[in-house]
Amino acid sequence: MHDLPEALSNGPKQPLGAGGVTAHVCGTALRMLDVFDDEKIYGQDMDEPLTQDEQDEKVLALLGQRSIPLGVPSQDAHEEAQANACRTRLVEAAERTLNGIENEGGRTPTVLGAAGTPEQREAEFRTHVRAEQPVVSVSFTGSLRRWLSTGDTQATSISVTTYIPGRPLYAAQVTAGTALLSDCSGAWRLTKSGWLAMSGEPVVAEEDPNYVVLPHSMMDGASRMRSHYAEPLFPFDTSSAVVQAVLGGKVPVAFHLTEPVLNSAIIPVATGHGMIVLSLDSGEVLEKPWDASRYMYRAVTGEQSFGDFIIARDLWAARRISRVLRTEALPAEDLDPLAPLDDLDDDFGFDFNDA
């Protein structure tokens, strides 16, 4: 893995804080996604450790038995098992990485992500936080199987959330090509070329108002959305699309539907890279990384709910999509086409007039 920037490493030979721990997990995740991509062409590296399920399957094969029935359902089960095995291998690789480094407090963080439901992992993460024990969540969003089968770069991503006692939550979003990190002190980007500190004002391309990122589940309303945005995008994984199209492209705004909090590292990551985040549930506007980190911490500890979000370059872009979402959610007969825009602002708890 590329050497960590000094800001993430705490200096030479110093124990790693939340940023360094998260950076190592991101580096491992990117490497493993590259491994999975290569395996689609060359097969699995014989030096790569097998999961317990993979070992069992090879034993059954040697015995002339099959762990799944013949026919079409078996192929479907095989693809699911392959995706699950990749997920487990990546999480186990992250565990091995963290076992080999020294971090603040001297305790190796527990790594969650290979077992249980998102709700179960969130409850376990909360238990560690309340007990002031270090913990890292490695949570896959979207569909890993779809990415493995199609190569669709907006099919899946990895949400990394790190808690080190006495430190703010640290968050990162990993896609097949890059990792974005953010906390209260700064933001970084990791690619195959190495680390880049996102210092000063974010450098983003001029926006293209024809585009908006929307959840795939909203595709049925594509024709209605095209009356507001010429080319709405409906990716399978909203978080990876935000990384690529909003933070890395010219798309001005995205709508992020409610997901478990540990699947939502993109929220603090986006603020750390210059975006604003609007909570549609509370109307709260998150403009700085420490705002988003604190918001996620309250959600992780169960102090508040975690709902739908708008991620935008500015309040005007947020205002526009808020109005669109509000009007498209109502039956046509309930809409007043002459209603001024400001009448809709109160529904989200704040006034956009200063945007």
Residue 337: pLDDT band (50, 70, 90) is: very low
pLDDT digits (tens, 9 = 90+) for 151-166: 999 999 999 999 998 8
State the Cα–Cα distance between residues 309 and 265, nearest whole angstrom: 12
Residue 206: pLDDT band (50, 70, 90) is: confident
Q: Are 22 and 136 in contact (CB under 8 A)?
A: yes
pLDDT digits (tens, 9 = 90+) for 217-238: 999 989 999 999 999 999 999 9
Mean pLDDT taken over the chain: 81
Residue 283: pLDDT band (50, 70, 90) is: confident
Residue 147: pLDDT band (50, 70, 90) is: very high
pLDDT of residue 339: 46
| Domain ranges for the chain | 6-197, 211-348
State the Cα–Cα distance between residues 245 and 345, nearest whole angstrom: 26
Report whether pLDDT(282) > 80: no
What is the Cα 148 distance to its own chain's centre?
18
**SS3 call for 231:** strand
- On the CB side of 250, CA atoms within 13 Å amount to 8
pLDDT of residue 348: 44
CATH class of 6-197: alpha beta
pLDDT of residue 159: 96
Architecture of domain 211-348 in this structure: 3-Layer(aba) Sandwich (3.40)
pLDDT of residue 354: 45
Note the pTM of the prediction, 2 decimals: 0.81
Nearest to 174 by CA among 326, 276, 33: 33
